[in-house]
Structure 1
């Protein structure tokens, strides 16, 4: 039998029982892919991470991310939370870390207070890519909203990625709280627009002051609603900069309000030689520790 320690934290929050929960296995050598997937499904968080030695010794670690049903090439809150865990519990040193992931290299800058890590900011591994528009009626049905609740002045529902793709949808402020995922509509739209093995994760948002408030539904992947989705927020930041113009865009996002898990994310997008890049950051709070015996 082998023992594997894990820790859980709440990400993008300053208080326990807020933000997005994450489980981290800081020493995952010896776990195969099937077991990692089974553990992620058993823990039943939106994502679980498994930390392995890096393939390149210049990097901090290789990080594998699993949701309830599949491995993710990249995700936001798992990277922020994993960096915090490794630094907080002595598994990594220095103020900057670099993770090897399916989507590429993820650069991390720790957020510290009084010399101790309290969170992290990560750079998404890829520049913005736009992967096509989706039909307004189909998206509205997925969200149980009338079609006129979806705003089109800045952009139509569009699939976008900075490492993993989401459908980004701007809605009227009053529609944000009214949205409810319709599983049958998701299945219909996925059958019509998504290649086998693809994703249909809808990130809807409304402008609120100088920032945004958002929700994310991915029921086909087992996440009915996500309290904080760093990778989707980063993709949106890059998209908004591409629309608004300028060199840099900074703002804050709030997500998870409707779930009772209010989350706060700091977003930044900038123009780089290879396209528009984005970062997302926030704070973390320790929750539980445990051990798996296999």
Structure 2
């Protein structure tokens, strides 16, 4: 068997930054067990397999695997796959106008748009599920122990630890300063007790950013999803819209939050989170970012 694959860096316009991704663009007929084995071989946070859509009016269907399990939805695989599909199938159209794709994922159809901006490919998608707050996390002592923080370093300006989801649930932990966030020491053995999630995934954030043009500095840990720290997490960014809407109470209109992530890993990433607020409620969420193709090859086995 010979399978072509492509390697991309997502949520960056620079090679060897952002979140790396492997995409197998012609995966029709592959058994899910083989997909899982290939994802384990690549050993990236996610590998995407592109297969024909169930609904012929859609562009394609995606199967997304971490090294350990299949996911119903993930952000950087959606952005990367959308950019690659557009580049392979309609390279001339991208330069003339935004290209709309509908990608089927287990969570549902995901509407994407791909454009070329100053030579770089960028994609965005509308969150397939409305971001929702699922509850508070009252055990600040447990959170502090899980990250080597003091309880006083958890929270700022009314922000408190919560669980939110836009298809995948994450715990969101506000941290008072960038210095505290940079100095955390995660103890994954404590995650199960500290966070009320079947598969622990934690998004820690502070307002103190590396780039003053950005709005939120983030570190994300996903041991429950088959990885440790993640350099860019689009699905968590989607869910963060519910957190921002709850604690910031933005006025009606469209708001964009630029999230910086991956700096502690040497893989700086930028995620654009756009929220539309109407009558005080979050009515639409989209996530976007750039993508760079850095390699390709053939699997032979």
Matches for 1:256-271 after TM superposition, within 5 Å: 256-271=262-277
- Determine the structure 2 residue equivalent to 1:46: 45
Could you state the TM-score of these two structures normalised by the residue count of structure 2? 0.89
Matches for 1:137-152 after TM superposition, within 5 Å: 137-151=141-155
- 1:245 aligned to 2:261? no
- 1:23 aligned to 2:30? no
Q: Secondary structure at the match of 1:89?
A: helix
Out of 186, 189, 210, the residue aligned to residue 184 of structure 1 is 189
Computed over aligned residues only, the root mean square deviation of the Cα atoms, in angstroms, reads 2.1
Out of 112, 118, 125, the residue aligned to residue 116 of structure 2 is 112
Change (3 A) 1:117 1:153: closer
Measure how far apart 1:241 and its partner are: 2.2
Q: Secondary structure at the match of 2:64?
A: strand
Q: Secondary structure at the match of 2:38?
A: helix
- What per-residue deviation string (whole Å, max 9, x for no partner) do you get for residues 176-218 of structure 1? 101222121124336xx33xxx221000011135610101011
Between 1:145-154 and 1:96-105, the stretch displaced more is 145-154
- Determine the structure 2 residue equivalent to 1:199: 199
Change (3 A) 1:84 1:141: same
Measure how far apart 1:154 and its partner are: 3.0
- Preserved CA contact (<8 Å) 1:48 1:66: yes
Measure how far apart 1:144 and its partner are: 1.9
Measure how far apart 1:62 and its partner are: 0.9
- Determine the structure 1 residue equivalent to 2:106: 102
Measure how far apart 1:285 and its partner are: 0.9
- Determine the structure 2 residue equivalent to 1:160: 164
- Determine the structure 2 residue equivalent to 1:288: 295
- What per-residue deviation string (whole Å, max 9, x for no partner) do you get for residues 232-251 of structure 1? 11211232123313233212
- Determine the structure 1 residue equivalent to 2:133: 130
- Preserved CA contact (<8 Å) 1:162 1:278: no
- Preserved CA contact (<8 Å) 2:112 2:126: yes
Measure how far apart 1:133 and its partner are: 1.9
Change (3 A) 1:84 1:152: same
Could you state the TM-score of these two structures normalised by the residue count of structure 1? 0.91
Provide the C-alpha distance between the structure 2 equivalents of 1:229 and 1:176, rounded to a whole number of angstroms: 17
Between 1:105-114 and 1:211-220, the stretch displaced more is 105-114
Provide the C-alpha distance between the structure 2 equivalents of 1:275 and 1:19, rounded to a whole number of angstroms: 28
Q: Secondary structure at the match of 1:265?
A: strand
Measure how far apart 1:175 and its partner are: 1.2
Unpaired runs of at least 5, structure 1:
none
